[in-house]
Amino acid sequence: MTTPTPEEPRDERVPVTVLTGFLGSGKTTLLNRILTEQHGMRIAVIENEFGEVGVDDALVLDSEEEIFEMNNGCICCTVRGDLIRILGALMRRREKFDHILIETTGLADPAPVAQTFFMDDEIAAQLRLDAIVTLVDAAHVLQHLDEVKPEGVENEAVEQIAFADRIVLNKTDLVDESAIAEVTARIRAINSGVQIIPAQHAEIYLPQVLDVGAFDLERVLAEDPSFLTETEHQHDTTVTSVGIDLIGELDEERLNRWLGTLLRTKGVDIFRSKGILALAGAPKQYVFQGVHMLLVGEFGRDWRDGEERRNRLVFIGRDLDREALERGFADCLATAGAAA
């Protein structure tokens, strides 16, 4: 569980880790390690196929991917119907586990999985998305990233990296230093703030991926203050990150209008958004996380005495217009004059 500060109550929601990665990336190896290692956590696993290892203590549930559209034809509003059904039943056995891990298939789009935790009030009240962990095969990821897809078909490898909070760069023993540097640069070009964990045979220190609070922006920023805005190195890629760091207080109405319009019109291309904002007149920080057009936000900690009112946010997505995003956001400042 996330460590509470004296200012906030303990978060009792069950942390959920989503494990993605292409076939051959080492996902099953990592999952088997999580299931068999003595780490002291009771983990309920939802996977697409039963694993090959015998598991005595863990709760393992099989699930078949079912994409459910909440809104006709809107990809931003797709959720995983199978997860909704299973999670409800699982939560009635709440005393049997401390953590949920969801393994997706190699070709799965992470969006419907993530959106499942943003779609419904009741699910969001009981479960918190802790992190999206993507396994990457250091030896083969570049060919997956460079694969040209037919018009309208997503490159799943790019999406899985764009959505990730943690990337396990696996099989580093099969490539040399320069290849690792190249893969790292390509990953950073897509998702600049992601934490990359090099590994061989998926051997990682599990606390690096379990219960890390990657969706808890305050915790992330405490560990890496530049997380939201370290996006200066642009590469020739259509999926990128845009970070904004702006001093000042925001006009809530203008912010609502801008963010609402942005997510409604560009939500398909904005994979993830996150930020900590200073609303004019609010004594607390406003913290939000979004997946496509779905967004969950709440007030966080108090602004401290003398602390500069500062807004930090990041968008990760396809064909992002950095200038338009910066300009649109700057127009939300309370000091920006008449409403845009």
Partner 1 sequence: MPLGARPGQSPQLRELRQSVRRLLGLDDDTAVVIRQLACAEPGCPPLETVIAVLPMNGQARRWALHATAEEITEDDLRAALLTPSSEGA
Rg from Cα positions in the chain: 20
Judged by CB under 8 A, which stretch of 15-23, 76-84, 155-163, 216-224 contacts partner 1?
Answer: 76-84
The whole-angstrom separation of Cα 166 and Cα 133 is 5
The whole-angstrom separation of Cα 293 and Cα 262 is 9
Closest separation between CB of residue 155 and partner 1, Å?
25
**Residue 88 to residues 84, 196, 248: CA-CA distances in angstroms?**
6, 33, 42
The whole-angstrom separation of Cα 271 and Cα 298 is 20
Judged by CB under 8 A, which stretch of 1-9, 184-192, 290-298, 311-319 contacts partner 1?
Answer: 290-298
Judged by CB under 8 A, which stretch of 72-80, 130-138, 159-167, 310-318 contacts partner 1?
Answer: 72-80
Closest separation between CB of residue 300 and partner 1, Å?
11
Contact pattern for partner 1 over residues 79 through 108, marking x by CB under 8 A: x-x--xx-xxx--x----------------
Return the residue matching tokens 């999670």: 87
Instruction: Out of 1, 197, 296, 334, point to the residue binding partner 1 (CB under 8 A).
Output: 296
Task: Name the residue among 158, 168, 61, 46 with its Cα closest to residue 107.
Answer: 158
CB-based contact 19:27 (threshold 8 Å): yes
Instruction: Out of 36, 48, 126, 172, point to the residue binding partner 1 (CB under 8 A).
Output: 126
The whole-angstrom separation of Cα 102 and Cα 235 is 32
Does residue 125 touch partner 1 according to CB under 8 A?
yes
Judged by CB under 8 A, which stretch of 17-25, 97-105, 286-294, 313-321 contacts partner 1?
Answer: 286-294
Judged by CB under 8 A, which stretch of 32-40, 198-206, 235-243, 294-302 contacts partner 1?
Answer: 294-302
Neighbours of 200 (CB within 10 A): 14
Half-sphere exposure (Cβ direction) of 167: Cα atoms closer than 13 Å: 29
Does residue 256 touch partner 1 according to CB under 8 A?
yes
Instruction: Out of 293, 316, 325, 333, point to the residue binding partner 1 (CB under 8 A).
Output: 293
Task: Name the residue among 276, 278, 261 with its Cα closest to residue 333.
Answer: 278
Closest separation between CB of residue 216 and partner 1, Å?
13
Give 69 or 245: the residue with its C-beta nearer to partner 1: 69
Handedness of CA 79, 85, 86, 89 (dihedral sign): positive
Residues in contact with partner 1 by the rule CB under 8 A: 66, 68-72, 74, 77, 79, 81, 84-85, 87-89, 92, 119-126, 252, 255-256, 259-260, 263-265, 277, 279, 286, 288, 290, 293-299
